[in-house]
Amino acid sequence: MPGYANPGFDTLALHAGASPDPATGARAVPIHLTTSFVFESSEHAASLFNMERSGHVYSRISNPTNAVLEERVAALEGGAGAIATASGQAALHLAIATIAGAGSHIVASSALYGGSHNLLHFTLSRFGIATTFVKPGDHAAWRDAIRPETKLLFGETLGNPGLDVLDIPAIADIAHAAHLPLLVDSTFTTPWLMRPFEHGADLLYHSATKFLSGHGTVIGGVLVDSGRFDWNAATAASGRFTELTEPYDGFHGMVFTEESTVGAFLLRARREGLRDFGASMSPHTAWLVLQGLETLPLRMARHVENARKVVAFLAAHPGVVNVAYPELETHPDHALAKRLLPRGCGSIFSFDLRGSREQGRTFIEALKIFSHLANVGDCRSLVIHPASTTHFRMDDAALQRAGIGPGTIRLSIGLEDPDDLIDDLKRALKAASKP
C-alpha cells in the first residue's frame, strides 16, 4: 500500500521534488526566473564547475524550478532522473545527440509524429546520422535493421496516425540482445496510462506541451533516463558507447560511467548537450508544466472517459468508415493494448469520414466546440483534417501510403461535457454528409 515511505502516483504528482521553500515558506513551487546563481566563494564556484558539489550555476544548464519538474517526471515514470528541454523535439534531439554522431545509425518505427520523422529522415541525415524506418509491429524488421553502428531503437508508445501500440517488451528484448537502448516517445500515454520503463524501455521523453502541461499554454519537453542500461557492459560487448565510457575532453576528461553508475547518460546530456546546444526550458514554462502535472491523474482519467464515449458514438455512426482506437476489437493492436494499456489508450485518435476532402473540410468548419488547430493533449477538444492541412500537398495515393485517407480526421478529446462533444460531432457529421 502506498504510504508516506512509499508514495503512490497521485502523491508523487503533487509532491515529488518539492517541499516548502526554506527561504520564504512558500508552499507552491517558486518560479526562479534568474539566469544565474551567486557563488559563496571562489572555491565554491570552482567546485560547482568541477562537479565536486551539486548546485546551480546558470539556468541554461539547470534551474531550481526546472529541477522540481525533472525530479517529478522522473518519479512518475519510475526513472533515475530527467532533463527538461525547450520542446519535445529538443528532448528527442538531446537523447540522440548524447550517444550518436556522424556515422551513427538509428532504427525507428515508421509510425512517428511528423516532426520526429522530419528530424530523423531529413535533418539528422544531413549531420551523418542515418535512420532505418520499420513497421512497429514487424519484429523481424527491427532486428534485421540493426547495424554495427546502430546506437538506439526508437518508437512511440502509441504511433501516428493509426495508434499502433509499440510492443515495448518485445522491442526492448531485441534492443538489449544487440546491446542497444530503447528510446520511446511517451507523449500520448503519459505515465498515468503506461510506464515504459516497467516494460523494458531504457530512455523516454515527452512533449510536455501536451498532456503533462495539459492546458495548451507552453512548449516544452522532458527526457527521462531509467538508469538501467549498462553502458559499460554494452560498450565492452559492442564498442558502441565510448561517449559515456571514455574520457570526454569537453568536460575535464570526465568518464561519465565512472562518475555515476545510473546517471551517466543524463550527466553527459546535461553537461554537453544542454550546455552546447542550449535547448533549455524556461523556468516559467517548467512552473506551468508543474501546475499541469499536479492534476495529471484527474485529467487523464477524464480524458480517457470522454474519449471512450466519443469513440463509441463515432464507431456506431453511419457517416464514419473506421475509428482507429486500440480499445476497439477492430484495431489490429487491440490485444497488445489490453496488455500494455489497461487504464486506456488516451484521448487522441483518428477516424475516417465517409466522403471526400471537401467533405472533410465541411466537417471541420461545422464544429463549434472542437478547435481546429495543430496540437493535441489540451484540456480543450481539438481537431485537424490532415488532408487539408498538414498533408495538403499530397495527392490521394500519397495520402494512402502515409495511412491517411481524404476523410481522415484526428481528434484530441478534452475535458468538456462529453454530451456536448458528441452533439458537436453529430452536427458536423450531418453537415458533412451533404455532398
Site for other proteins, rule CB under 8 A: 5-7, 12, 15-19, 47, 50-56, 62-64, 66-68, 70-71, 74-75, 78-84, 226-228, 230, 232, 252-254, 258-263, 266-267, 270
Q: What is the DSSP letter of 22?
A: T
Map residue 303 onto helix, strand or coil. Answer: helix
Minimum CB distance to other proteins, residue 72 (Å): 8
Minimum CB distance to other proteins, residue 176 (Å): 13
Residues in contact with 25: Cβ distance below 8 Å, sequence separation at least 6, in sequence order: none
Is 78 or 114 the residue whose CB approaches other proteins more closely? 78
- Strands 382-384 and 371-372 turn out to be parallel
Map residue 305 onto helix, strand or coil. Answer: helix
Cell of 133: 524506418
- SS3 sequence of 356-393: CHHHHHHHHHHCCCCEECCCCCCCCCEEECHHHCCCCC
Which residues is 430 bridged to in the sheet?
none
Minimum CB distance to other proteins, residue 227 (Å): 4
Minimum CB distance to other proteins, residue 75 (Å): 5
Is 91 or 415 the residue whose CB approaches other proteins more closely? 91
Q: Position 131: which residue type?
A: T
Is 78 or 403 the residue whose CB approaches other proteins more closely? 78
Minimum CB distance to other proteins, residue 82 (Å): 6
Instruction: Note whether 142 and 330 are within 8 A (CB).
Output: no
DSSP for 321-343?
A: EEEE-TTSTTSTTHHHHHHH-TT
Is 78 or 169 the residue whose CB approaches other proteins more closely? 78
Is 24 or 54 the residue whose CB approaches other proteins more closely? 54
Nearest to residue 426, comparing CAs of 319, 298, 337, 308? 319
Is 69 or 171 the residue whose CB approaches other proteins more closely? 69
Minimum CB distance to other proteins, residue 57 (Å): 10
Cell of 187: 507523449
Residues in contact with 194: Cβ distance below 8 Å, sequence separation at least 6, in sequence order: 157, 186, 340, 341, 343
Minimum CB distance to other proteins, residue 228 (Å): 6
Cα distances from 317 to residues 174, 311, 314, 351, 430, in angstroms, run 41, 10, 5, 11, 10
Is 19 or 42 the residue whose CB approaches other proteins more closely? 19
